[in-house]
Structure 1
Amino acid sequence: MNVVSDSLKSGSALADDYINHFSQVEDLYGDDFRMEESWNRRAEWLDESEGTRIDRAALVACLRQYNNKHNDHKEVHKSLDLLEQTGTLAVVGGQQSGLFTGSLLVVYKALTIIMAAKEAQEKLQRPVVPVFWIAGEDHDWDEVNHTYVMTPELKVARVKMDAAPGPRGSVSHIKVTPEKWKQSLDQLAALLPDSVNKPEILQLLNQAAEESGNLSDAFAKLLGRLFGELGLILLDSADPALRQLEIPVFERMIKQNDELGPTYQAAAARITGHGYPLQADVTADGANLFYIYEGNRLLLQKQNGSFTDRKGIVNFTKEELLSELTNHPERFSNNVLTRPLMQESLFPVLCTVLGQGEISYWAITKDAFPVLGLKMPILLPRMSFTLVHGTLRKYMEHFGLSFQDVQHRFDDARQNWLNAQADFDIDPRFEETRNAFEKLYEPLIRELGTIQHGLIPLGEKNKDKILEQISYLERKTKQALEKQHEAALRQWEQIYVSLFPMSKPQERVYNIFYYINRYGFGWINDILGSCTRYTAEHQIIEM
């Protein structure tokens, strides 16, 4: 396995500047993750603010109960034992609970959390544990109910969970029946090529499905299988036991909601003032909290001193909302702008591992932390990878393609190669023919007009038909050339579909079990062994 760095196109200008040009956006964020003093300063602040967070023993008891059920590994219990001790810090990151773990970026986020915790522990000479925050309270079912694999025919195939949710509730509360699990598992089994690893994969997935009534539980069990032996602690943000611990934090969010709102608005104005688009909605009347009513997750807003939703289904005074929190904490949920505050209130977060979209919207939260007596943690960009197997690398070398060629110039490079295979340059020759024809035909049309003016439009129409036929012949010539070099063009197609399926980075589309089916479960540890240090640079892994 060889690892080389190469750039990957960014989906966010703000995140790109955070990673590569921090001085340009320093006022939008806290500490620079590259600076050693940032880590020392953050650790000192966490020591000083120990009393502002939820009691460690109570938090660990809750986490132990959850991990016993879904992630029962010796190393996880060691991490939990450490977290219970004053002075232990945490690296935290999270993701929605996607079908069969979703896309590769979920795995890469977990890897980054583990690697960053290990490095921080060495750097600071104190315990640092890795924590993965499963965003089970999110309600976007259509975003998590599918994943993708590549077929032998070089098609990107979608595996989907067809379970139709009723109310617009949290993913962790949407029940998945055995029949629906079976449908999705059968889809995946049919799409994965036979291999020595396939039986173990299907056994694992079937077991996770049998023991899970929803996507989040299955997601946790699979992450536990992949990373439990590396000590990765898991939590589900929709866990009722965790929500009970969060009551004091939600209470502060409600009581100080009028102070939090202006911080989000001011930060949003700074971001747009720098010329960046906002990655999360910021409204003047937003409460940035959800209330779950009859299974529906309703976003609260403030109107005339009350908390209500957009349709007016629920309406609470501040006192009524606080009373509801005391009696029914399970009915409350964070949005993207309060989740960072909740995470900071629960854990001694040394750094949080974020994708580019998250880095962009976390900038909105910077000034909200101090309102609750908190401080924004170090934001660590998720590590990014593209897997390139040996055959693919050989194809790229044969065609003289670099990773950047595939990323930015693929269609032109493919067409140039194809044209070079012909005995003559197709595009220039046909263009030359069109120009020559028009040069001869235009004077003829004008001369026809001297005989009868009505012959001019007839001549123009005739000219267009002839040009159309020339273009038709050009297309047929190119098709014949493609047919002649069909095998080679299939190699071109394999390169692109492997690296940029659906014109997106590989890590945002394909499922990990497609690669485990090919390389076995051990390749995750191989990545950890090959990438000895954290880096924010995109890395190409030659398998």
Structure 2
Amino acid sequence: MPSDCIHYRDTNYFSNFICDYLDQKEALRGFYHRFPKLANFEKQISEKQDQFSIEHRQVLAKVLKHQYSTIEVSDNTQVNIDLLKEDATFTITTGHQLNLFTGPLYFLYKIVSTINLTTILKEKYPEYNFVPIYWMATEDHDFDEINYFNFRGKKVQWNRKDGGAVGPFDTKGLDTVFDVFSAEIGSGRNAEHLKSLFKEAYLKHNNLAEATRYLANELFKKHGLVIIDGNDHDLKQLFVPIMEKELIDKVAYQNVLPKAKELEEKGYHAQVTPREINLFYLSEGSRERIVEKEGVYFVNETDIRWSSSEILKELNEFPERFSPNVIMRPLYQEVILPNLCYIGGGGELAYWLELKDYFEAEKITFPMLLLRNSVMIRTEKQAEKVKKLNVSVKELFLKQHELINRKVRQISNIDINFDSQRKHLQEQFAGLYDLAEQTDVTFLNAVKAQEKKQLKGLDVLEKRLLKAQRIKLGDQVKRLTVLQNELFPNQSLQERTTNFSELYLEYGENLIPFLIETLDPLKGEFLIITQ
């Protein structure tokens, strides 16, 4: 199984912000607590152990037992749930939206990175236990982001009425999606297993949260993955003291906004901007912002109103009705989990990196932040085509027009670079400039205009020659275009577009073990695997 790798910066698909974080640039040092190196986990363990209470562990284990009551729990997962009661047990967590049938491939890579890091940590620190957690984003309300997945270039979409948190959405209408998917996927052992997975998950469970829990459990139960839904009365009861301070003192706003501004002053883009109150209110079919004006609290776009004392009473009696937004959700996670490290994509880590001061204000240990594994999987046939076309790994990641132009220049029997002609032209005009300086400014301007015109003419000729060569070398250009389109669907990373079902048809039940065996969460490079 040959593999290659490339620095994230060289892929051109990751922001300078994240690449600078991975390079541990000094400018970002104040935005994280500890960098995710294996040796740094010892102090992280000690700090979290001192902070996390046995009472929280008992609540967590009880809630998980209840949430798993409707599905078959593997021995490995059950052991991990029981271990969470113990003071020597810690979690490694990733989170993801409830994308239909897992959505893009990186859903798998997030979870595999999480599982593999727990294995590495157990080998390094055998006196402790490490549990992989998948946090289901059941309170998210961006339905348009999750109601489809791509299969062989086609969008398989669930059309239903939107509104409110997605976790409680009933699964009506997914029988039609199943019919469409079944028709596309065909037959065969692996295809039939995929159909069974979809049917069991979405047609035999009442809501999207239950369906997603079943699916993720089926894919990863052998590896002890523990799946948690934070939208729970008992878990949110643990978070009430911090939500009270958010409502009254606006702690997040006061601590995150300066950090976001500091990022922008350093030349980076702030991923999120805090609101004065960073909580939503949940009701049936609705998840709307809580807003305060002159001591009166109300739910945006509704008639719900409270005084200060009334909203605190509502919070303490019904904490499940209060939903943290993107700013507070990370803190909520770290309050209810004995967590050491959060594993996410570049966009996720970007907003986490704004939150360190907020965590410190609330006296909650800031977790390590680890970029999930990123992977391109190609066939041996595709790898052979890359070799025959003499394309390097770095060139593969170029924008298509840049890649084609570069390869045409390389394989053409004509020199398509007019730099020598430009240099010669500029040398000729240098003499004219000497002459122009002895006359008047109007002549000097005329010389400048003529030079600009002739250099532009060379640019046009060079482009026309390049276009002509692209046509002449059309066969090579076509093969190169087809190959890159295969490896970068819709001119995007494979992992951000392709659904796991396409790979499962090829590799079947070996897919997850193959990823578990191959991915190293601490490697810190983009991996290209030939399989």
TM superposition score category, shorter chain reference: 0.7 to 0.9
The verdict on how the C-alpha distance between 1:327 and 1:172 changes in structure 2, with shifts beyond 3 A counting, is same
The verdict on how the C-alpha distance between 1:380 and 1:480 changes in structure 2, with shifts beyond 3 A counting, is closer
Letter in 2 for 1:368: Y
State which drifts further: 74-83 or 319-328: 319-328
Within the candidate set 195, 200, 217, 1:202 is matched to 195
Structure 1: distance between partners of 2:470 and 2:345: 42
Structure 2: distance between partners of 1:42 and 1:233: 21
Structure 2: distance between partners of 1:420 and 1:369: 53
Secondary structure class of the residue paired with 1:253: helix
CA RMSD of aligned residues (A): 2.9
Q: Deviations over 1:47-104 (max 9, x none)?
A: 21123x7521221111122224246211100111111112211111100010101111
Secondary structure class of the residue paired with 2:70: helix
Q: Deviations over 1:255-296 (max 9, x none)?
A: 35423321111211211121111111224xx21111124521
Structure 1: distance between partners of 2:385 and 2:92: 40
Structure 1: distance between partners of 2:409 and 2:520: 43
* 1:410 pairs with 2:400: yes
Aligned to 1:433: none
The verdict on how the C-alpha distance between 1:417 and 1:74 changes in structure 2, with shifts beyond 3 A counting, is same
Aligned to 2:448: none
User: Is contact 1:119–1:533 with CA below 8 Å preserved after alignment?
Assistant: no
Within the candidate set 140, 143, 151, 1:141 is matched to 143
Letter in 1 for 2:202: A
Aligned to 1:18: 21
Secondary structure class of the residue paired with 2:291: strand
Aligned to 1:514: 502
Secondary structure class of the residue paired with 1:300: strand
Q: Deviations over 1:273-320 (max 9, x none)?
A: 21111111224xx21111124521111233223333454643323321
User: Is contact 2:31–2:356 with CA below 8 Å preserved after alignment?
Assistant: yes
Aligned to 2:273: 281
Q: Deviations over 1:320-371 (max 9, x none)?
A: 1121123333321111111111111101111111211111111221111133
1:175-190 mapped onto 2 (5 Å cutoff): 175-177=170-172, 180-190=173-183
Secondary structure class of the residue paired with 1:272: helix
Aligned to 2:37: 34
User: Is contact 1:30–1:366 with CA below 8 Å preserved after alignment?
Assistant: yes
1:26-425 mapped onto 2 (5 Å cutoff): 26-34=29-37, 36=39, 38-51=40-53, 55-70=56-71, 72-125=73-126, 126-150=128-152, 156-165=153-162, 168-177=163-172, 180-192=173-185, 194-238=187-231, 242-257=232-247, 258=249, 259-283=251-275, 286-311=276-301, 313-414=303-404
Aligned to 1:452: none
Structure 2: distance between partners of 1:420 and 1:532: 35
Structure 2: distance between partners of 1:478 and 1:355: 37
The verdict on how the C-alpha distance between 1:67 and 1:393 changes in structure 2, with shifts beyond 3 A counting, is same
Letter in 1 for 2:6: D
Deviation at 1:425, TM superposition (A): 8.9
Structure 1: distance between partners of 2:307 and 2:523: 48
| Alignment TM-score, normalising by the size of structure 1 | 0.82
User: Is contact 1:71–1:228 with CA below 8 Å preserved after alignment?
Assistant: no
Q: Deviations over 1:97-119 (max 9, x none)?
A: 10101111111000011011111
| Alignment TM-score, normalising by the size of structure 2 | 0.84
Secondary structure class of the residue paired with 2:267: coil
Letter in 1 for 2:259: A
Letter in 2 for 1:43: I
Secondary structure class of the residue paired with 2:35: coil
Q: Deviations over 1:233-261 (max 9, x none)?
A: 001233xxx23331241342223542332
Aligned to 2:424: none
Structure 1: distance between partners of 2:414 and 2:253: 66
Q: Which blocks of at least 5 consecutive residues in structure 1 are unaligned?
A: 151-155, 429-470
User: Is contact 1:268–1:364 with CA below 8 Å preserved after alignment?
Assistant: yes
User: Is contact 2:56–2:238 with CA below 8 Å preserved after alignment?
Assistant: no
Q: State percent identity of aligned pairs.
A: 25
Structure 1: distance between partners of 2:301 and 2:66: 38
State which drifts further: 210-219 or 352-361: 210-219
The verdict on how the C-alpha distance between 1:402 and 1:215 changes in structure 2, with shifts beyond 3 A counting, is farther
Structure 1: distance between partners of 2:285 and 2:406: 56
Structure 1: distance between partners of 2:171 and 2:367: 36
The verdict on how the C-alpha distance between 1:408 and 1:423 changes in structure 2, with shifts beyond 3 A counting, is closer
Letter in 1 for 2:292: K
